[in-house]
Amino acid sequence: MRLKNKLAVITAAASGMGRAGCEVFAREGATVFAIDIDQKRLDDVVASVEKAGGKAFGLVADLLDPAVCRDAIEKAAAQMGGIDVIWNHAGIPGLRDVENLDLVEYARSMDLNIRTGLVMTGAAIPHMRKRGGGSVIFTASTAGLVGASVSPVYSAAKFGVVGMGKSLALRYATEKIRVNVVCPGPIETPMFPQFFDPNASKEVAAEAQAKTVAAIPLGRMGQAIEVANAALWLASDESSFVTGITLPVDGGFTAR
């Protein structure tokens, strides 16, 4: 098992890539502490992991509140007996409108996409230090590697995540705490349609999504498990000499 005896925290764990991560991490031997804002879906994830013979805990938490973030980490460490891995997956699509920017929503997007992961990581590092090291994973996006005209706010946030990951990797390398960033491209999850204009007709929305798929060299959308498998590798000792990287999981989207 690639994560045997590892203690892992995953945020935004109740659906899509986060849920796939919980299931594959547990299958590979990790104890998983799953955090999400959706109680029902979170309960389903924990039940799914346990049904498959894994071990999981669930916590409903609004990670926009830094105090809640820190408390969640302390609860995770207490229930699992420590922390070896944290996958900071929580995030939201950014605003489309620039000319009439909603500053409240702008702050919410920046806070959840950047600050939440930073606060969670800062709280988790002392627990990793006690265990002799660990693996921190952030979810950014291909929009953190190349521009994204559909949402400059989202792109700005994800570029920030990439820079934050690289900087933390340098800061904690001597303590054997590795920090890496996974950058999904277009992935078939419940969140994907939120990246397109909600006021567009079904025909226009379908055309926009078709254009996105057409820009992927492998010719298809990615699947949640494919991103989870990338995070699994970064969490495992197989990537023990890997820190400070951005790993696109994008079907070649950023290879141009």
Catalytic residues: 154
Q: What are 181's strand-pairing partners?
A: 138, 246
Concatenating the DSSP letter of every residue in 121-181 gives HHHHHHHHHHTT-EEEEEE--GGGTS--TT-HHHHHHHHHHHHHHHHHHHHHGGGTEEEEE
Q: Tokens 């995953």 correspond to what residue?
A: 10
Asked whether 23 and 29 are in contact (CB, 8 A), the reply is no
Q: 27: burial class by Cβ within 10 Å (0-12, 13-18, 19+)? A: middle
Nearby residues of 73 by Cβ (< 8 Å), 6 or more positions away:
9, 83, 86, 120, 123, 124, 127
SS3 46: helix
Residues in the chain: 256
Distance CA 88, CA 145 (A): 18
